Chain A
Amino acid sequence: MSNPSNTEERVKKIVAEQLGVKEDEVKMEASFVEDLGADSLDTVELVMALEEEFETEIPDEDAEGITTVKLAIDYINAHLD
């Protein structure tokens, strides 16, 4: 159901909004903490925002592994169909 390029756009948009960065800074390999300046609470909020956007629940164990833009996109693509 979810079209991969669309997922990428939606994830990048949310990352930009949540972390207060420009969308063109949100590169695939960008790490939320190291490259985009997120603190640990920002990453929790980011996961909350992704859960809402994609109407899914991301368990804490999985959330901890989502540290880059690409990992977020891959996670959504793998868990939504």
Chain B
Amino acid sequence: MSLEQKIALVTGASRGIGAAIADALGAEGAMVIGTATSEDGTSKISERFAEKEIKGKGLILDVTHEGSITSVLEEIRETYGPLTILVNNAGITKDNLLMRMGNDEWFDVVNTNLNAVYHLSKGCLRGMMKARWGRIVNISSVVGSMGNGGQSNYAASKAGVAGFTRALAKEVGSRNITVNTISPGFIETDMTDTLLEDQKALMLSAVPAGRLGKPEEIAGVVKFLVSDAAAYITGENIHVNGGMYMS
């Protein structure tokens, strides 16, 4: 197993894409810390890991709270050792037309989806620089490239993640640290479950593959990006969307 001895942090790992990513890295032998915002979420993660014989556990993390990030990173370092794989997956939507959007809706989405990526990446870099090896994978969205009415906050945060990825990739490329973005299209998760049936049908009509993607189809790309086979890929934004958007 290729990730033996590696320690990975996956935010938002209690369900959906994050859960699939955490499980996939764990199946490769990594020690995985999956985070969630509630006790309920973290115990789900720990139980799932135990069931699948994955090393690691769930930890509570509010990615919008710098202090919470610092203490979780410290706990991981002290308990397990240096963290060299970071998957920034936690994300939220608060959709509204811009003309109706409240400041809270804007700032909450940007705080969770973008500012957290800044804090977490910064917090992990020292360990990666020392190890002369690191992988940061940021989960963005096709909406960051295409735009989507009612999601100006979400689109801005997700496009921001892709720009952040490119800049950081240039900063740390010489240290064997790669930084990449994955932009999922429509994936079967709670986030897309909230869409109305006719919204879904309309969206699917724009997907050549004719179906929603599975969380495992994102996890597979993460698994590849953190592997040694992907050592020369950095600053890239990989679209995984069944053909709905081709960059």
Contact = CB atoms under 8 A, between A and B. Distances in A.
Contacts of A41: 171-172, 174-175
A17 B126 CA distance: 17
What does DSSP make chain A's interface, helix, strand, loop or mixed?
helix
B237 to A, nearest CB: 23
Question: What's the interface size class on B, roughly?
Answer: under 10
B172 A48 contact: no
Interface string A41-52: 100110010000
Interface in A31-68: 39, 41, 44-45, 48
Interface string B158-202: 000000000000011011000000000000000000000000000
B101 interface: no
A65 B175 CA distance: 24
B170 to A, nearest CB: 10
A45 B171 CA distance: 12
B129 interface: yes
A80 B175 CA distance: 30
A57 B129 CA distance: 17
